[in-house]
């Protein structure tokens, strides 16, 4: 089995598995500057809310490394630019903003120290957040596994695995845990148009783990749910409002509607850092719209006519009433979501 290392920070450089190249080949994308990290997040070299968050944190570290030779005032001005650029790399994944805010607060708290000392503190914080992410994923997996019955048939959407985190995964972490518990599970993975993260990435992870699975087109999911061939649905999240509304990869909302119609449990698996306590409902979540070529081209080949108009939102919002429970590292949150989510603040 190939050990998946989504990201590593070694010798003052950030190494990312280039998820644009999977599954055909495993390549490492090297980030030596904060601008490299900004590009990697925007171009989806790295994706998945937790992995984006940790990458952004290390982008701040690389910025500090680049500017620590400058005088204090200039260093602080430059770091403000770094923080702002990285904070805007992608608009929906709140883990990115959460991580950048942590680093900004650390700089502010220690601005009387030398630039070298601030750099060291930022590096230590980045390492702490990285290790914390792994621990959080394993805790979520254990909580989530209590909801998975023996011989369960599970449906998942997009990629919420080790590739979307530092290691182990959110929704796919629960699936891993159920597999390791010898529950004899089976997984259907939506291909997840337009970038095919399910077909390319989730299927690759499932094969690496030897978990029995099949990839389906997104439009086949409703038929499987209607025909009672799905026992539960596990998906990740990029942002959760305080009322429980959840932004995730486009197509998630559609799944939740069908699941509710046919009484199939629909679970969100996400760390508490994905909860945005500053917004009340999903209406406040900014949905990223991406380049039309993600739809009009597949692997560099145009599949639609020139001049066609395209709408390409990266995410949609699942309303809280369609969600059975939210699995976090602090436990399983059930309705009423707002009341129970605010207890975690």
Binding residues for substrate: 47-49, 90, 197, 248-249
Where is the binding site, in residues?
A: 47-49, 90, 197, 248-249
Give the closest residue to 282 by CA, choosing from 310, 311, 330, 323. 323
Residues in the chain: 345
The residues that bridge with 327 in the sheet, in sequence order, are 269, 332
Q: Which residues contact 43 (CB under 8 A, 6 or more apart)?
A: 20
DSSP assignment of 86-141 equals HHTS-SS-HHHHHHHHHHHHHHHHTTTS-HHHHHHHHHHHHHHHHHHHHHHHHHHH
Distances (CA, A) of 53 to 149, 154, 164, 233, 345: 32, 27, 10, 25, 19
Catalytic residues: 238
Helices (H) and strands (E) in the chain, counts: 12, 15
Give the closest residue to 224 by CA, choosing from 212, 235, 215, 211. 215
What angle separates helix 72-87 from helix 94-109, to the nearest 10 degrees? 170
What is the CA angle 151-152-157, rounded to 5? Answer: 145
């Amino acid at each position: 089995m190939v050990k998946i290392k989504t990201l590593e920070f070694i010798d003052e450089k950030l190494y990312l598995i280039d998820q644009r190249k999977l599954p055909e080949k495993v390549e490492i994308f090297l980030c030596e500057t904060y601008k490299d990290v900004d590009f990697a997040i925007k171009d989806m070299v790295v994706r998945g809310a937790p992995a984006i968050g940790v990458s952004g944190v290390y982008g701040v570290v690389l910025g500090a490394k680049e500017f620590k030779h400058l005088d204090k005032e200039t260093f602080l001005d430059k770091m403000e630019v770094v923080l702002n650029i990285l904070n805007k790399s992608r608009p929906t994944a709140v883990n990115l903003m959460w991580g950048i805010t942590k680093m900004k607060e650390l700089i502010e708290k220690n601005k009387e120290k030398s630039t070298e000392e601030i750099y060291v503190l930022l590096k230590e914080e980045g390492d702490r957040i990285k290790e914390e992410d792994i621990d959080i994923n394993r805790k979520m997996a254990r909580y989530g596994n209590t909801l998975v019955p023996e011989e369960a048939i599970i449906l998942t959407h997009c990629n919420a695995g080790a590739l979307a985190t530092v290691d182990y995964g959110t929704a796919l972490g629960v699936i891993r845990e159920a597999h390791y518990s010898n529950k004899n599970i089976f997984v259907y993975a939506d291909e997840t148009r337009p970038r095919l993260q399910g077909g390319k990435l989730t299927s690759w992870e499932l094969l690496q783990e030897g978990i029995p699975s099949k990839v389906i087109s997104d439009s086949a999911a409703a038929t499987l749910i209607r025909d009672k061939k799905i026992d539960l649905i596990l998906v990740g999240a990029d942002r959760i409002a305080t009322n429980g509304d959840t932004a995730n990869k486009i197509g998630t909302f559609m799944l939740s509607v069908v699941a509710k119609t046919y009484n199939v449990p629909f679970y969100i698996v996400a760390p508490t850092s994905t909860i945005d306590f500053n917004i009340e409902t999903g209406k406040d979540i900014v949905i990223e719209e991406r380049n039309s070529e993600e739809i009009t081209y597949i692997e560099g080949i145009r599949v639609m006519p020139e001049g066609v108009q395209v709408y390409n939102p990266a995410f949609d919002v699942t309303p809280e009433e369609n969600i059975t429970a939210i699995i976090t590292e602090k436990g399983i949150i059930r309705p009423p979501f707002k009341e129970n989510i605010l207890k975690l603040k």
